[in-house]
Structure 1
Amino acid sequence: MAPSKYKTPPQAPPMFTHTPESLLKDTEQILSQSKELQDRIVADVKPGSAKFKNVLLPFAQDDNKMSLRTHIIGFYQAVSTDEKLRDASTEAEKKMDDFSIDSSMREDIFQLVDEVFKKQKDDQSLDAESRRLLEKDHKGYIRMGLGIPDGPERNRFKEIKKRLSELSISFQKNLNEEQGGLWLKPEQLEGVPQDVTENLKKGEEGSENEGRIFLTFKYPDFFPVMKYCKNAETRHSLMVANENKTPQNVKLFKEAIVLRDEAARILGYPNHATLRIEDKMAKTPKTVDDFLGDLRSRLAPGGLNEIEVLKKLKKKETGKADNYFLWDHRFYDTLMLEQDYQLDQNKIAEYFPLQTSIEGMLGIFESLFGLAFVKLEGADRDAISETKKGSDIVWHEDVQVFSVWNDESEGNGFVGYLYLDLHPRDGKYGHAANFNLQPGFINENGTRRYPATALVCNFSKPTPKKPSLLKHDEVVTLFHELGHGIHDLVSRTIYSRFHGTATVRDFVEAPSQMLENWCWTPSQIKSLSKHWSYLSPDYESAWQAAAKPDEKRPAESMPDDLISSIVKTRHVNDALFNLRQLHFGIFDMSVHEPASHDYVANLDASSLYNRLRKEISKIDGPEALGESYDWGHGEATFGHLIGGYDAGYYGYLSSQVYSADMFYSVFKKDPMDGKEGRRYRHQVLEKGGSRDEMETLKDFLGREPSTEAFYKELGLS
């Protein structure tokens, strides 16, 4: 039961009781109300009388209210088990996007916003966040084509924006709905942990797949096979099949990059990248290209050296290593960690049961940021549900819910709701991500609206004999996504559009990347660890039943030698890891920064993707076996480039510059310094996107950011 002082949140959690019909009806109602408001303001506010409070403020308050419902309406397509509800969510999102495009291209509204901008852009009586809203909104209208004279070009621009919305929604839906995989014989999976293979679907008796098992492309199946399967042909087949799992997305991706380029040129930009980066921290594509190029030249020699070492290991294992293939890398990287560094990932995973890892992580956030997490179960869920049915406040029975509070040092007030949806299922979003369900903001009456945020991940499910166990890299992933969730929860902005992670793309990853450092700190690894046999008497019995005769039960917390084996491997094969990130970033810039529109219109994106991977990562693909560069379509599985990271994927690398600087400058000497944790919470996380991110960063550091810690961490300084 929840502690009494944290028992009853002042705001009920969101409800997940939609049907396909109610979802679409709600969408129509929301859009109709918003349209009425727009028409009323245009009718009531005469030219010459437009001000922030009678134009932008009512629109911003309408955005606030809409977002409480629209985020959830769009969320169902990522998590619902009901295919019809997922389809309705997709249809609703398209309607909302179309409405947003139509609204952002209304000349009559733009005239009012333009008038306010000219009168009030430097008005010091407006608070800083409202001035930022005015500036962003005004620029948003211009970037939606309202600087283009009314006529065929503007109509074409609107057509493109609507089609790009359709492409984005269809692309992600294809990824979410993908259910492919390979039927394999058990002997083809030699070396793969039994925990993985015993949970795979078995071929039916009498069918062509009798005696085989079905391996999907979902993370809990795919990664263990790439890391542990001794059969190189199996890894080869799986890797190529995974790259080709959504062939219908090939045309969608190509159409998207061509249309983006056309739209940018209509607006007067030389390419899509220039348009997208203008408002980010980097400001220009040249800054991005110079950063990526410099990092590539620094990393390339290290990558080649790492490949030579790995090839020696491959030769020792197989007798031959003329090539080092893409399907070799996870396998030999894992083998090297085991043989040279005594890193036993399966042994380590025994100390990271999913549930206790979550509890440990939340404990770290409690100490650092002055928070309290209260898990809501049973009667506690019923009590806070508007319907008094606890099942109505979740979208699936596996979902965990926490009410989040400030601790005593921060005033004991309510913070928001955190949801965890951690296991794979059909139709669910296939990666790991944080979704805002309801943003926080200031209500019209001056009270606070509290946020709700969800982590959607794909970790293996527990069984009666063993809980869900995390490899160390999965611990890092979970901590990273929880970092986004905390950013979402503790943000305190006036307007929903600036809430939490609504920052520029080349900063948004920095707070979570900084928190990953805690997963490499010995004291924190120990505090997160608990051997799974100590979770319950049943699990203790299961461990004993599987143990060898006279095998001693492991210690409850992870032994120091295992912790040491984790920490000392942090930068093993780091150059190859970062060259992989560079491949993604440089491919992204290449397709969005073409020399001409004809170039992108005639581009074979798949061949470019594979050729750049070979040139940058130095690892061989099937082209080394005589195949052409269009052997796979990795760009068709690359949701980031369709889902908002277009001309922005470099942000994963540039954010590391900021995250390393913050960690080494402030937290390295004492990662659990609560005073600095609270300063970070209030000076960085709380601000969301409500102020210029570079100013936020400089305030926290007390100086301009530096690349020194980043390059030092990579051994490149």
Structure 2
Amino acid sequence: MKKLTIGAAIVSAVLAVGCGDDSAKDAGVAETKPAQTDQAQMNNNDGAKDSKDSASTGGNPFFEQWDTPFGMPPFDKIKDEHYGPAFEKAIAEARAEMDAIANNPEAPTFENTIEAMEYSGKLLTKVSSVFFNLTSANTNPKLQEIQKDVGPKLSAFRDDISLNPKLFERVEAVYQQRNELGLREDQMRLLEDNYKSFVRGGAKLNEEQKQQLRDFNKEMTELALAFSENVLAETNNWEMVIDNEEDLAGLPQGLIDAAADTAKKRGHEGKWVFTTHRPSKTPFLMYSEKPELRAKMYHGYTHRGDNDNANDNKEIAAKLAKLRAKKAQLLGYNTHADFVLEERTAKNAENVYELLNQVWPAALEQAKAERALMQEQIEKEGKDFKLKASDWRYYAAKVRNEKYALDEEAVKPYFSLESTLQGVFYTANRLFGMNFKERFDLPKYHDDVRTFEVTDNDGELIGIFLTDHYVRDGKRGGAWMNSYRKQFVTEDGEFVKPIIVNVLNYPRPVGDEPTLLTFDQASTLFHEFGHAAHGLLSDGVYPSQTGTSVPRDFVEFPSQVLENWMLEPEVLAQFAKHYKTGEVIPQELIDKIQAASKFNQGFATTEYMAAALLDMAWHTLDGKELKDANAFEKATLDKLGLIPEIAPRYRTTYFNHIFSSASGGYSAGYYSYIWSEIFAADAYQAFRENGIFDKETAKKYKKYILSSGGTQDPIELYKKFRGKEADPKYLMISRGLIEADESK
């Protein structure tokens, strides 16, 4: 659902990528030393003008014009205690602006109503963009307390806008005369989206219903925040301490060193500590020769939020699902999924299930075939037990190594974090003419952060790109892209350049060794930069339409399509170099990587699909009863026929995508990844047909997909790029679920 502009300023988008070194000038990467002058200075146009009472606020940075390079947030000056007063003042200012629009004595026009709303709330945008980025990437107990306090206030404020009858009356008046106003296409879409947002926000409800909606929204905000905090606490608190060196059998030395470092930091010096953070959990399950320890790790990861303790999420998730259904019905929809999907390219649950049910049987069949291969491997080793879920990654690695002679540990030296970023930058330069200079003088919120000035081939500033790569306790799991400032054009016609951040959770370097990435981790770096490019190359007018402001089931498309370039020999030759010798990755190893790229896709697709179908099951409920979360999940998965050796990628109690956002996040939308992949696979086919760096294809892709954002209908934009609708067959081929000749 597209929010009203004020709402969009509040809600932090989730996505991710990048980093770099000075070794690949041909990749468009260079360094700028601290003393070097800025090519461009930009004021923070999202910020409020200097307030007359700023002196009385104790020099709160949010009440001042930021004179930092490029209008970057002055992170070193912003303290936790500044957020409370800043939010209080920002909400008050935004409320006053909205009241002024609602009570304007002049007849409603596009300019004095729709555009006025679009450009209101500058201080709220300024505060929110910093605060919600940091509560995801670098939180602490104080910020969490502020979030608990401000969340309900922001929810109430959003409701005050959506349910303001005078404001809706003006919006509706402009909407009724929309065809006589001579609006541009983006203006018409802005008007229509605002009108629909009011209606979907409850503007046509009676007073009793409006109060009920407010109560629903307030409770859902509190529940979503609690869910998120519980997952973070469960992830941070769980640890497996090993004090017997024999229990490290099979583990790569880099993982052992990282575990020793973690142990030291957690007060277990001389021992080894493994956690459920992905950089620790995944390789442990892949390489540990101790099945009982693999089982312990697997249980710890898959039971987060399901331990009947203070951080338990079972009842919270069930309550959220019920409240969402009740809210949808209050607004005239049968289910939460019906409410959500109306605004997506999928349009309805039937279309979602049609795709998922088309892919599910093939994926499950492939997963069963993979299970049989691993059971054969167990028996070949003379062991007598049935494969368990905690064994899957261990035996998958063995089978892959034997089948393709591809050892993940042999691949990692060619994918250092630094060199892989060079591959990302090289690809961005070849496709879109983007050049990257690392800056050492720009403000940053943590020492891990790196900053890059991004320019085009004429030296014109595109935007600022921040990267934050390493796992730490104050950062939520996963990988994402967000913006500290979106691209837009001000009321005065000034083109504001974006400030984009990518956040990941890679293992931190140990000693003098660099961070070495698995193939999947390297692919994630490309994936997340696809999101960043979507934000950086934006070229629109209104902030609620620019960058990644597209339907949820379209937003993953630009990130997914960029992953394809990483496997191209021409790109690999540019960056996949051994971190010690500088040797370019051998063609033989490239061939093995490509041959193995579709291995274990039955597992990968099935665990993802199980989560997507679980999400849909929760959000097609009628809300008449509060479900027992574990019983409901089990019944859903049993009905699907999910094999016991595979769990959903996310079980209910740690499914942050769908339960940690007050606005709904990916609820009734986790299918979006595979839906977007239809566009991604079909789009890359265009590059295959014309050349992977074909200038005309890249130009059209940039113009219609990356730069246009939400200014037009995404399906129409895609057809302008491709000349036709996306063909799902390329998705099935890319996942190895059908052969190319089967699709003819």
Instruction: Establish whether TM, by shorter chain, passes 0.5.
Output: yes
What's 1:637 paired with?
654
Distance verdict in 2 for CA 1:203–1:373, change over 3 Å: closer
What's 1:400 paired with?
450
Residue of structure 2 aligned with 1:225, choices 256, 278, 284: 284
Residue of structure 1 aligned with 2:88, choices 28, 39, 63: 28
Distance verdict in 2 for CA 1:494–1:521, change over 3 Å: same
**Which amino acid counterpart does residue 462 of structure 1 have in structure 2?**
P
Residue of structure 2 aligned with 1:686, choices 701, 707, 714: 707
Q: Does 1:301 find its partner at 2:365?
A: yes
- Residue pair 2:240, 2:297 contacting (<8 A) in 1 also: yes
What's 1:264 paired with?
328
1:571-623 residue CA offsets vs partner (Å, 9 max, x unmatched) = 112122111111011111111112x333xx24222233345446657432599
Deviation at 1:301, TM superposition (A): 2.4
- Residue pair 2:678, 2:731 contacting (<8 A) in 1 also: yes
What's 1:666 paired with?
687
- Residue pair 1:365, 1:371 contacting (<8 A) in 2 also: yes
**Which amino acid counterpart does residue 7 of structure 1 have in structure 2?**
Q
Aligned positions of 1:419-438 closer than 5 A = 419-438=466-485
**Which amino acid counterpart does residue 75 of structure 1 have in structure 2?**
N
**Which whole-Å CA distance do the structure 2 matches of 1:214 and 1:79 have between them?**
23
1:230-252 residue CA offsets vs partner (Å, 9 max, x unmatched) = 11111111111112223422222
What's 1:620 paired with?
644
What's 1:564 paired with?
591
- Residue pair 1:487, 1:501 contacting (<8 A) in 2 also: yes
For structure 1, which runs of at least 5 residues remain unmatched after alignment? 382-389, 535-554, 624-628
Residue of structure 1 aligned with 2:112, choices 54, 77, 83: 54
**Which whole-Å CA distance do the structure 1 matches of 2:86 and 2:269 have between them?**
47
**Which whole-Å CA distance do the structure 1 matches of 2:726 and 2:172 have between them?**
35
Q: Does 1:115 find its partner at 2:173?
A: yes
SS at match of 2:119: helix
What's 1:274 paired with?
338
Aligned positions of 1:319-358 closer than 5 A = 319-321=383-385, 323-358=386-421
Aligned residues: 665
What's 1:698 paired with?
719
**Which amino acid counterpart does residue 376 of structure 1 have in structure 2?**
R
Q: Does 1:163 find its partner at 2:230?
A: no
1:666-713 residue CA offsets vs partner (Å, 9 max, x unmatched) = 345522223322221111110111211111111111012211222233
**Which amino acid counterpart does residue 288 of structure 2 have in structure 1?**
C
**Which amino acid counterpart does residue 620 of structure 1 have in structure 2?**
P
Deviation at 1:202, TM superposition (A): 7.5
SS at match of 1:165: helix
Aligned positions of 1:25-104 closer than 5 A = 25-45=85-105, 49-63=107-121, 66-80=124-138, 82-89=140-147, 91-104=149-162
**Which whole-Å CA distance do the structure 2 matches of 1:82 and 1:258 have between them?**
30
- Residue pair 1:369, 1:681 contacting (<8 A) in 2 also: yes
What's 1:585 paired with?
612
**Which whole-Å CA distance do the structure 1 matches of 2:382 and 2:37 have between them?**
63
**Which whole-Å CA distance do the structure 2 matches of 1:437 and 1:75 have between them?**
8
Deviation at 1:149, TM superposition (A): 1.7
Q: Does 1:506 find its partner at 2:506?
A: no
Deviation at 1:204, TM superposition (A): 8.7
- Residue pair 2:686, 2:697 contacting (<8 A) in 1 also: no
Q: Does 1:597 find its partner at 2:608?
A: no
**Which whole-Å CA distance do the structure 1 matches of 2:230 and 2:583 have between them?**
43
Distance verdict in 2 for CA 1:622–1:131, change over 3 Å: closer
Residue of structure 2 aligned with 1:139, choices 186, 196, 209: 196
Deviation at 1:469, TM superposition (A): 0.6
Deviation at 1:159, TM superposition (A): 0.7
- Residue pair 1:576, 1:617 contacting (<8 A) in 2 also: no
Deviation at 1:369, TM superposition (A): 0.4
Residue of structure 2 aligned with 1:465, choices 512, 515, 519: 512
**Which whole-Å CA distance do the structure 1 matches of 2:346 and 2:323 have between them?**
24
Deviation at 1:214, TM superposition (A): 2.0
- Residue pair 1:434, 1:453 contacting (<8 A) in 2 also: yes
- Residue pair 1:343, 1:566 contacting (<8 A) in 2 also: yes
What's 2:240 paired with?
182
Distance verdict in 2 for CA 1:618–1:40, change over 3 Å: closer
SS at match of 2:300: helix
**Which whole-Å CA distance do the structure 2 matches of 1:157 and 1:498 have between them?**
26
What's 1:129 paired with?
186
SS at match of 2:455: strand
SS at match of 1:260: helix
**Which whole-Å CA distance do the structure 1 matches of 2:374 and 2:177 have between them?**
64
SS at match of 1:191: coil
Q: Does 1:481 find its partner at 2:538?
A: no
Identify which range, 80-89 or 647-656, moves more after superposition: 80-89
SS at match of 2:549: coil
- Residue pair 1:698, 1:704 contacting (<8 A) in 2 also: yes
SS at match of 2:414: coil
Identify which range, 663-672 or 455-464, moves more after superposition: 663-672
- Residue pair 2:545, 2:710 contacting (<8 A) in 1 also: yes
**Which whole-Å CA distance do the structure 1 matches of 2:211 and 2:222 have between them?**
17
Deviation at 1:396, TM superposition (A): 0.3
Deviation at 1:433, TM superposition (A): 1.0
Instruction: Give the helix-richer structure, 1 or 2.
Output: 1
**Normalising by the residue count of structure 2, what TM-score does the alignment of the two structures yield?**
0.85
Distance verdict in 2 for CA 1:614–1:357, change over 3 Å: farther
What's 1:15 paired with?
74
Deviation at 1:130, TM superposition (A): 1.5
